[in-house]
Amino acid sequence: MDEVNFAVLGCGGIGRRTLEVSTDKDHLTPVAACDRNGVAVDHDGLDVDELLAATEGNIASDGGTAAASGPGADSGGVKQTGENAGVAASVQADPTEEPIADIIEASDDIDAVLIALPNFEHDFIPRVADRFAEAGYEGVLVDVLKRSRVIDMLDDRTDEFEEQGITFVCGAGATPGFLTGAAAIAAQSFVEVHEVEIWWGVGLKSGYEDNRGTVREDIAHLPEYDIDDAREMSDAEIEAVIDEYDGVIEFEDMEHADDVLLERAGICDAEDVTVGGILDVTSDEKPTTTTVRVTGTTFDGETGTNTFELDDATSMAANVNGPALGYLKAGVRRNRAGEYGVFGPADLMPGF
């Protein structure tokens, strides 16, 4: 395919790893990156190594409670704070109070934008999309959001995206993401799907500092907390929760968008999808194997279960950022073919 120029909103763990992984992907050129403090734009291609080196150790850990500005905390009224706060002023980045506006202003030559921001308000990512649409952006928007209820908010914008020429790929990480797509493929053996079980394992000891926002979002899935709690908790309170579980937290019945995305793809009812997993911040080894199990009935009346497993050697970054860029490529192909609107990971085969 032709070269794809892309931007990254947010330079926390997901954003930084996306930039890093892109250097090993063909036909991808990162040309812009931003967070709440700074923006870097070079239409000839960012020097990723230099940018990552310049931003190392600058990731804020206020947890989304104290920052006065965030990506979009300008005239558009979108405010978001949290893990993604690392692009500081340097030879590669300029300070700014309006980072999203700066990326939009430079977006004429940007084919795709990956939104790598924590979603501590349910409508945050849809509001970011609104700003691109209102500014006349024509291209691809990709997110790695997790929560089911956000999908309906994006679907409500389908007509606007189609009119504007935007191809929005939602839930394009691991889960939701290519594990959702794996479930959709595994379902092809059956004429009726009874159950989809997604069970993930993440070891995050060495990557914990870079992924505090991701951990914070996960804590919101515990039964005694919600997204508002996670947004308002201090770092010390988050650490106390982690300590309460001795650094190994098991999640059950998470509100992951895999359910809605599989239902909208016609695979099964959302209520038949369950997502859970184990997060271990004391070790880089996965505490359990990431597995997708799809149970259904075949055309000849047999009941069976198809199973898909990830190798334990693949990291969270590999399983989130690789697919995110693959879905970004797929979105660009659709966009260049004139296909606009909202697409999920069960609708597309990611490009390599």
Active site residues: 146, 217, 221
Helical axes 212-219 vs 13-22, angle rounded to 10°: 130
φ/ψ region of 34 (left if φ > 0, alpha if ψ in -120 to 50, else beta) reads beta
What is the four-CA torsion angle of 296, 154, 109, 347, rounded to 10 degrees?
20
CA distance linking residue 208 with residue 201, whole number of Å: 14
Q: Which of 59, 19, 68 is nearest to 40 (CA)?
A: 19
* Furthest-apart CA atoms within the chain: distance in Å: 65
User: Sheet holding 166-169: strands in order across?
Assistant: 94-95, 38-41, 28-34, 4-9, 112-115, 139-143, 166-169, 341-343
CA distance linking residue 151 with residue 163, whole number of Å: 19
| 8 Å CB contact between 144 and 320 | yes
Q: How far apart are the first and last CA of the chain?
A: 11
| CB contact set of 240 (below 8 Å; sequence gap of 6+) | none
| 8 Å CB contact between 231 and 121 | yes
Distances, alpha carbon 26 to alpha carbons 5, 221, 328, in Å: 12, 36, 13
